[in-house]
Amino acid sequence: MSVSMVRELLAATWVIVFCSFYASAQIKVACIGNSITSGYSNTGYSYVPTLTTLLGSGYTVVNYGVSGTTLMKKGNQPYWNTSAFREALASNADIITIKLGTNDSKTVNWNNSHKQFKEDYLALLDTLLVSNTGKPVIYLVLPAPIFNNPVANSWGMRDSVVINCIVPLIREIAADRGLTVVDAYTPLKQFGNYFTVDGVHPDRNAADSIAHFIYRAITEKTQTEYSRFKTIKRQETRRVYSVLNGAYIPDFFTKLPPGYRYELSLYSLNGVLIGKMPFLGSTGSKAQVKNMLDNTRGTGLLVAKPTGY
């Protein structure tokens, strides 16, 4: 075998090893949910593509959403019975997001099986943890608001059940299990115009916002250990927040240590930079941030990058 052939063989072997290492080093994210996750027909958008873009090349994000499904086993279309659920169980994901509950609010489901909601949710968590051997980090995403209109009403969906029953139960479950809640309800409640004509499914604005909420929850953890890779992912260089026309201003901006400097960058929902401003700890305030948002008519992603003391 010639020297050149040996070099080519070694190069090919290195490429295979590198690609195998890169593939194994990817953080796997499994998104479980209903049509708001999967994307509904031609009128509703999924948040998963934007979440994939936000997380970047270090993550592999898979959409396991199935339209019309319920969390409850006795619902009219249980997520438990889907092939997507079986695939999610076999995915060995490192991160799992669960966004179920909207279809459970239907009269036909909630009136007949509501006492099983917490029990079935806990069973879902246990099943996911047992099946995914890497001990995944699980995020519980609250259902988005349901806006009262003839279409939503004809489906039997009720926002009153979501906010008064389902949301408190999910928060209770998260507290019991020490899991993170991603609030996709409160920030969107006053933005009915970000939803399609049925009042249930998000348009691109709301879908992108949900992606930002989940992205923020995942990346805001300052130290998350992924036992599958035996490594620690640190996110200490920036903080990311979703904002909707200044309606949601994080408390973080009132709690910076004195003299700590940040550069705030506001991006539109499609990633275009809208504006920047410096921010100084202790002298900064929510009013200062809101002024920036008002001046730029800001709706999108707010990135706070530390620049020192």
DSSP-assigned states of every residue in 24-46:
HHSEEEEEEESHHHH--TTT---
135 & 279 share domain: no
For residue 1, being part of any structural domain is answered with no
15 & 147 share domain: yes
Please list, residue by residue across 224-237, b when 16 or more beta carbons sit within 10 angstroms of its beta carbon and e when fewer do: bebebeeeebeeee
User: Taking the mean position of all CA atoms in its chain, how far away is CA 257?
Assistant: 29
Place of tokens 């708001």: 36
Domain that holds residue 223: 11-234
CB count in 10 Å sphere of residue 204: 14
243 & 223 share domain: no
Question: Model's pTM, two decimal places?
Answer: 0.68
Please say which residue of 176, 200, 234 terminates a domain: 234
pLDDT of 250 reads 52
DSSP SS3 for 291: helix
pLDDT of 69 reads 98
Place of tokens 């939503």: 152
For residue 6, being part of any structural domain is answered with no
Residue 147, domain CATH: 3.40.50.1110
To which H or E segment does residue 98 belong? strand 95-99
What are all long-range contacts of 38-43, with beta carbons under 8 Å and residues at least 24 apart?
38/63, 38/65, 38/66, 38/67, 39/63, 39/65, 40/67, 40/196, 40/201, 43/196, 43/197, 43/198, 43/201
- C-alpha–C-alpha distance, residues 35 and 53, integer Å: 20
DSSP state of 217: H
pLDDT mean values, one per 10 residues, the chain (309 residues): 47 41 70 95 81 90 97 97 97 96 96 91 94 86 94 92 97 94 91 90 89 87 34 36 48 55 66 69 58 56 63
Cβ contact 182:213 at 8 Å: yes
Give the count of domains, the chain. 2
For residue 5, being part of any structural domain is answered with no
pLDDT of 288 reads 63
Name, in order, each residue with C-beta under 8 angstroms of 251's C-beta and a sequence gap of 6 or more. 286
